[in-house]
Homo-oligomer: A and B are copies of this chain.
Amino acid sequence: MADRVTPEPQRRRRRPTKQGTVLSEKVIVDTALRLVGLHGAQALTVRRLGAALGADPSAIYRYFHSTDDLLLAIADELIGRAQHGWQPTGDWRADLRAVGLRIHAAYLAHPQAAILAAHRTTGRDNEILAVEAILGVLRSAGFPDAQAVRIYHALVDQSLAFAALDAAELALPAPSQAADLEVWQSRYALLDPRSHPNIAATADLLAADMRLSGYPFALTLLLDAIAARLPDPDAERRRSSA
């Protein structure tokens, strides 16, 4: 937990493992992501990862100080994938929406990994790239620096937070997911409309909405509110007329 820096020895002599694979940070992170995608977050253990790599578990510690360190590398990889191929268009609203949805989607593409990674601050390259890009969008939209920073936080935090929330749902094992919904529905069905009038009135809607992510809607709300705060009306007018 204390070390956040991957050891960087000479990293020269790649001895293949007994079973032939050649290790590297990249191979390990990729395998970890694959493992997590296939068998769930709880399958990401040093021992299982070693087995999946065809290497002794302890070999991993030549590349990462701890499992926490490995986790940060995974988180950074996800952030990197979210940005891959993205370019700001100059329309700040569309750009921010794209960024938010990309972060959300990249994490949800690996729900199991997202749960582990969304809360973390990696301090690594991909994360810095993302910060730079988003701040760039906000500042060139005309937001003063102080506000740009606040909005940056609101946007990124919300995206990551929703990603984690949705991922936690997606990541539940299928039987348990079904059980979850069933528990809710049976609970709702049994409620006395007199003691719980509001739930009773909206029970159908609640059940239907339960499985959907509130994120795109919440993101829209956030962007609406941000637009209302754009300090320089010219920028907004310029955007919509050009």
A interface list, Cβ under 8 A from B? 1-2, 4, 115, 119-121, 123, 128, 131-133, 135-136, 139, 145-146, 148-150, 153-154, 157-158, 160-162, 164-165, 168, 172-173, 175-176, 179-180, 183-184, 187, 191, 196-199, 201-202, 205-206, 209, 212, 214-215, 217-218, 220-222, 224-226, 228
Contacts and interface: CB of A to CB of B under 8 A. Distances in A.
16 contacts: A2-B173, A2-B179, A115-B119, A123-B183, A132-B196, A132-B197, A132-B199, A136-B197, A139-B202, A154-B217, A157-B215, A157-B218, A160-B165, A218-B222, A221-B221, A224-B228
Q: Give how many copies assemble into the complex.
A: 2
Chain A contact surface mostly? helix
A165 B154 contact: no
B153 A157 contact: no
A15 B147 CA distance: 60
Nearest to A166: B157
Nearest to A186: B123
Contacts of A224: 224-225, 228
